[in-house]
Structure 1
Amino acid sequence: MIFEPFRPFLPCAFQVKFATATWEKRSAARLRREVFCEEQGLFAGDDRDAIDEIATPIVAVSMLGVVPDDVVGTVRIHEEAPGTWWGSRLAVAQDYRKVGALGPALIRLAVSSAHARGCTRFLAHVQSQNGLLFRRLHWAVVEEKELHGRPHLMMEADLRFYPPIGDAETGFQAHARGTPARAPLPREAA
């Protein structure tokens, strides 16, 4: 008798929120090392820098029912100057990249939570291969440049599509088959 291999179980619900617990922050750092150091080879050993001292980490936590399981996505945000915020180190665990909702949900919470804190301009350096995703999420290219030996796009979010979210410590749920369950992005800006 031949048995077909089973696909590994992947949760389909995720809580996207500020990393508030120690385990969430450690897991976000681990995921960044896996993606940026081990997988992509952008950094040797660790990708932490001075921005980590002032940045707010955001995580996507896989949920098993109502119980948090693991950090499967992360990004960080910081205010560089009054009103000017940056997002960086967006990473999704390799097994979860096909979920599709995680990257956009992390981006949404990053921009919308900064918007609630007085952001008037939100920027990010995006690896060029991810530019289309950001364009679809209402970002525009400001400049092309090379960072860490790879082509990047400096991009700016259109804040009209990112209404302020004040409760980022709790965040919102995202689901594998769609957009976040609460307060979807408007289709067109007013």
Structure 2
Amino acid sequence: MPPDYSDYTVKWAHLPWEQQQAFKLRQQVFCHEQQLFELTDEDAVDQTAQSIVALGDYGGWPQQVVGTVRIHQQAAGEWWGGRLAVSRDFRHQRHLGTGLIRLAVGSAHALGCQRFLATVQAGNEALFQHLHWQTLERMTLHGRDHLLMQADLNFYPPIHNPNSGFVMTLADKPTSAMTLWPGLLEVQEQVPVPGAAASVSGAEKRYV
């Protein structure tokens, strides 16, 4: 049985153990569960990316990284989200995924983001539309239908305190019954973005 945490803190990872557990969770999801990589999913983007973590708490004391995502600036004003992963034991806590997305976009917005992008599996389109994302393009990647999507920043006010983030209790569940599909954790290739900076490399990968 997974721990019954009293609440969850969603914040930027800045302590060594937070970053270490975030990488370990990514390894579990992307290497062991989905077998997309052999040993590690870490790449060059991690050198400049900011990891975000969802921490399981007991009475305000963090115990474990149960979810993670990373963000990084690809070009001036253009940010990408990726490597979104939630521990298998906590995927029923669907508010964890929405909380990670909220801090990812909101903290980038506070840093001057004018466009926040991600590629997601087609099965998650309704969820992201519910979270105020717009579909820009449809494509097939790795033999599966995917979407290039953009967050509506009007619904993601800047979050200026990402190092402390925010606390979510079990009552902080989304009003929608939709949940994070497992396919949201799968790999997606970088794709050309209409109007995006030409510096985006086709060899890079995004995970959201």
TM-score, with normalisation over the residues of structure 1? 0.86
CA contact 2:12–2:165 (8 Å) conserved in 1: yes
Aligned to 1:184: none
Aligned to 2:206: none
Task: Report the Cα distance in structure 2 between the residues aligned to 1:150 and 1:174, rounded to whole angstroms.
Answer: 33
Determine which structure has more spread, i.e. the larger CA radius of gyration. 1
- Residue 12 and residue 144 in structure 1: after superposition, are their counterparts in 2 closer, same or farther (change >3 A)? farther
Task: Report the Cα distance in structure 2 between the residues aligned to 1:12 and 1:100, rounded to whole angstroms.
Answer: 15
Question: Following superposition of structure 1 onto structure 2, how do residues 74-153 of structure 1 map, counting pairs within 5 Å?
Answer: 74-148=68-142, 150-153=144-147
- Residue 113 and residue 41 in structure 1: after superposition, are their counterparts in 2 closer, same or farther (change >3 A)? same
CA contact 1:16–1:58 (8 Å) conserved in 2: yes
CA contact 2:2–2:89 (8 Å) conserved in 1: no
Equivalent position to 1:10, from 4, 8, 17 = 4
Deviation at 1:8, TM superposition (A): 4.2
Deviation at 1:76, TM superposition (A): 0.2
- Offset from partner CA, 1:3-58 (integer Å, 9 cap, x none): xxxx5432141110000000000000011111111112222221111111110000
- Residue 39 and residue 61 in structure 1: after superposition, are their counterparts in 2 closer, same or farther (change >3 A)? same
Question: Following superposition of structure 1 onto structure 2, how do residues 1-40 of structure 1 map, counting pairs within 5 Å?
Answer: 7-40=1-34
Matched residue count: 174
Equivalent position to 2:170, from 176, 181, 185 = 176
Aligned to 1:185: none
Task: Report the Cα distance in structure 1 between the residues aligned to 2:4 and 2:125, rounded to whole angstroms.
Answer: 27
CA contact 1:42–1:148 (8 Å) conserved in 2: no
Percent identity reads: 52
TM-score, with normalisation over the residues of structure 2? 0.79
Task: Report the Cα distance in structure 2 between the residues aligned to 1:95 and 1:113, rounded to whole angstroms.
Answer: 27
Deviation at 1:126, TM superposition (A): 1.4
CA contact 2:133–2:152 (8 Å) conserved in 1: yes
Runs of 4 or more above 6 Å deviation:
none
> Which 5+ residue runs of structure 1 have no aligned equivalent?
1-6, 181-190
Task: Report the Cα distance in structure 2 between the residues aligned to 1:124 and 1:130, rounded to whole angstroms.
Answer: 12
Residue type matched to 1:19 in 2? Answer: A
- 2:58 corresponds to 1:68: no
- Residue 36 and residue 147 in structure 1: after superposition, are their counterparts in 2 closer, same or farther (change >3 A)? farther
Task: Report the Cα distance in structure 2 between the residues aligned to 1:49 and 1:93, rounded to whole angstroms.
Answer: 21
